[in-house]
Chain A
Amino acid sequence: MSENLKNTPLVDRHIALGARMVPFAGWNMPVQYEGVIAEHNAVRNAAGLFDLGHMGQFDVTGPDALAFLQYTTTNDLSNLNPGEAKYTLLSNPDGGVIDDLIVYRKPEGEAGYMVCMNASNADIDVAWWEKQAAAHPEFDVNLRDISADTGMIAIQGPNAQAITAKVTDADLTSIGDFSWANGSVAGVPAKIARTGYTGEDGFEFYCDIADIATIWDGLMAAGGEHGLVPVGLGARDTLRLESRMPLYGQELGMDISPYEAGLGWAVNLNKGDFVGRERMAEVKANKPTRKAVGFKYVGKGGAPRTHYPVAIDGQEIGEVTSGTFSPTLGENIGLALIKSEYAGVGKPLQIIVRGKPVDATQVKTPFYKRES
């Protein structure tokens, strides 16, 4: 391999499981084991285990930890109780997005917050936060990039809780959506978060990186009889897209407003000043000129893919941000960023696939929602 890729502690396990490894954001990661569709369906119907060792983690403590995160991100974190988490966006002064994040307030008895960052942006995020802290000495904070010391895996799917219950002493039923708690998992200490990126119930585990293989092995052993399979980045992408979760670099970017991306719900303009607030307020007040929409194919053609043009009557009106053959629905689905005047459920679009227009119709999202 020509690039200098980083490996997670689980790389030998992936290879032994028959994974196809690919470079992703500087990491050598499994894209699939048995196959994308089989892994996707396992998560929807049973459970899947994901190595998320490439993701970054950032620790924010100090008296002004909350104020600093409020100033540098878009959502209102002031109402997070100990042990609760929230989705938020790291914003730039132009009202665009540097990264999308989950901020966890530490459980009772621990100070500060932990932020989970995308692998591709972790270094950028950390540099940005350090720059902000230096520019604003009024914030009394301690910042620490703990990515290299932190292991992370996820178990997702309807059987995730039953499997996890076999290897933990934590009361999982007391961990609500977007919450986390300390517990022993497979005999080692971890933080157990009911968060994920698949649209299914499940947990993400954070622990000392030296312990991550113990948790992986414990869950794999406990999960066999519950249909647990390892899942690669391929199915992670199809799962998140069916659930309309954004992917940074596709739905989100430095030059896309959250209001264009359909993520206005993750921006609170009334919480006080924050980076990019003024520009975001302008975009909201003037109505965004572009809008993210969901679509599915009506006609037949190759799957929609990122950057494919979107047209109406031969005129280009935007592009596909993410698209795939949906294993759950058995049809082609996607998200597109288009001129707002063409947006509307039931309205037509044409996706230009290798020069040929394929008829599509705009649909409500998420494309898939689990029965609760």
Chain B
Amino acid sequence: MGAPENRKYTKTHEWISIEGDIATFGLTDHAQSELGDITYLELPEVGDPVKAGDAFGVVESVKAASDVYSPIDGEVVEVNSTAVDGPDVINNSPYDDAWLVKVRMADPSQLDSLMDTSAYDEFESNQ
């Protein structure tokens, strides 16, 4: 599956879509496929800060636990509790229903270092 257009991507396989000063985070199809059956998701609470390069959540499959990283600084304004209650949505709909958190960005220029869709597709195909 090619990654959707109009989003940014990290080397740790998160996607970010931007609307105004709000960034929405999720995991890419490559990430969910590598993890396998996802059974648990832990996310921050509304109001929690996130920091570029730091883990803001944990996703677990049957076999392993992995951190989910924020590429930017900001504050959590919304959390997808449906995904927490039924984390297999990440396997089934990584780019749509399985958004994880919405963050009010502190410094949108931090997005500049992230990959666009074609750069990520190329990065991912070399993984």
Contacts and interface: CB of A to CB of B under 8 A. Distances in A.
Q: Say if A and B assemble together.
A: yes
B58 A35 contact: no
B1 interface: no
Q: Determine chain A's interface SS by DSSP, over half rule.
A: mixed
A234 B63 contact: yes
Contact of B60 (A31, A37, A302): A302
Given A238-B62, A302-B60, A327-B62, A36 B36 contact: yes
A325 B65 contact: no
Interface stretch (B11-19, B37-45, B96-104, B119-127): B37-45
A303 B65 contact: yes
Interface string B58-72: 101111010000000
A354 B36 contact: no
A324 B61 CA distance: 9
A247 to B, nearest CB: 14
B37 A303 contact: no
B39 to A, nearest CB: 4
Given A31-B63, A36-B63, A234-B63, A303 B39 contact: yes
Nearest to A20: B36
Nearest to B62: A36
Contacts of A305: 65
Nearest to B65: A302
A159 interface: no
B93 to A, nearest CB: 16
Contact of A302 (B36, B37, B42): B42
Q: Determine chain B's interface SS by DSSP, over half rule.
A: strand
B62 A325 contact: yes
Contacts of B58: 302, 354
A32 interface: yes
Given A35-B36, A303-B39, A324 B65 contact: no
Interface residues of B, number: 11
A32 B36 CA distance: 9
Contacts of B62: 36-37, 234, 238, 303, 324-325, 327
Most buried by A among B39, B40, B60, B61: B39
Interface in A268-307: 301-303, 305
Contacts of A302: 40, 42, 58, 60, 65
Nearest to B42: A302
Given A303-B60, A327-B62, A37 B40 contact: no
Nearest to B63: A234
A106 B63 CA distance: 37
A330 B61 CA distance: 13
B38 to A, nearest CB: 10
A238 B42 CA distance: 22
Contacts of B40: 301-303, 325
A21 to B, nearest CB: 13
Interface of A: 20, 31-32, 35-38, 234, 238, 301-303, 305, 324-325, 327, 354
Given A36-B36, A325-B40, 13 more contacts: A20-B36, A31-B63, A36-B63, A234-B36, A234-B62, A301-B40, A302-B42, A302-B60, A302-B65, A303-B40, A303-B60, A354-B58, A354-B65
